[in-house]
Structure 1
Amino acid sequence: MSVRYAAPGRINLIGEHTDYNLGFALPIALPQRTVATFTAQQSDAITVCSDRADGTVRIPLDTAPGEVSGWAGYVAGVVWALRAAGHPVPGGPCRSPAMSKSGWAWRRRRPWGARCSAR
C-alpha cells in the first residue's frame, strides 16, 4: 500500500514577498507538479532521486543540517526538522526534487518510508 501527495507549481506575477506583509499578490498555479509517493520501508536512511537531477542521494536518518548539499538538502532538512520535533521518521527509497512540503504530510503516515516519483 502507498500514499501519494501532489502539489502544483506556482509563480507570482506580482507581489513577491508582499502577501505576508499585507501587500498585493497574484500567485498562479502551473501545470507542472511535484508528486511524492510513500511506501512502507524499513531502513536507517532515505534514498532520493529526481527525474530532473543527476544521481541518487542516500540520506541517513540522523543527518545534521548542512551535511547534504544540492536539491537533496531540502529533503534532509525535512528529515532533520521532523526528528528534532520528536516525530518518528522511517526510511526508504524516494524520488522527487521538491519533496519538502509533502514530507510534512508524511509525518502522519507512520510507519511509512518514502518512495516518490517526480513528474
Structure 2
Amino acid sequence: MYNKLKKAPKKVQDVVMQMADAETALKGFITAPIKMKLGSRCFKERVYVAPIVDDMLLGHDILHLLGVFLDMQSDTLILDGERLPVSSSFNDGKPTIARVMRKKRVVVPPYSVVR
C-alpha cells in the first residue's frame, strides 16, 4: 500500500520486525506520522511498513489509542459507536485458508499444524 501512495511519507527509521513465530523477522521501516481515516474518525500516526501480503494490519497500539472494540461475533470493529466491517476469509464458520509466512511461502490447510 505504501508504494501506491501518490506522495509517500518520509522514512524515519529502518526496523526489523519480529514475527509471532519468534524465528522469522521482516526488514521494514517507520514513516513520519501520516493522516489516516478509520470509519469517520481521522487521526495522525506513524506507520510501520513491511513486506506482507495484506494491504494493512491494524496493530494493538492503534486500536488501543483509538479505543476500538472488536466484536468477533459480527466481524466488526466498533469505533465511537460506529460499526466497521472487518475483512475475513471464513466459509460456514470455518477458515477457508490459513497462511504462515516463513523464508518461503507456506500454505497451511485448515485444522492442521506447521512446526
Q: TM-score range by the shorter chain?
A: under 0.3
Higher RCO (CA < 8 A, seq sep 6+): 1
TM-score by length of 2: 0.24
Give the helix-richer structure, 1 or 2: 1
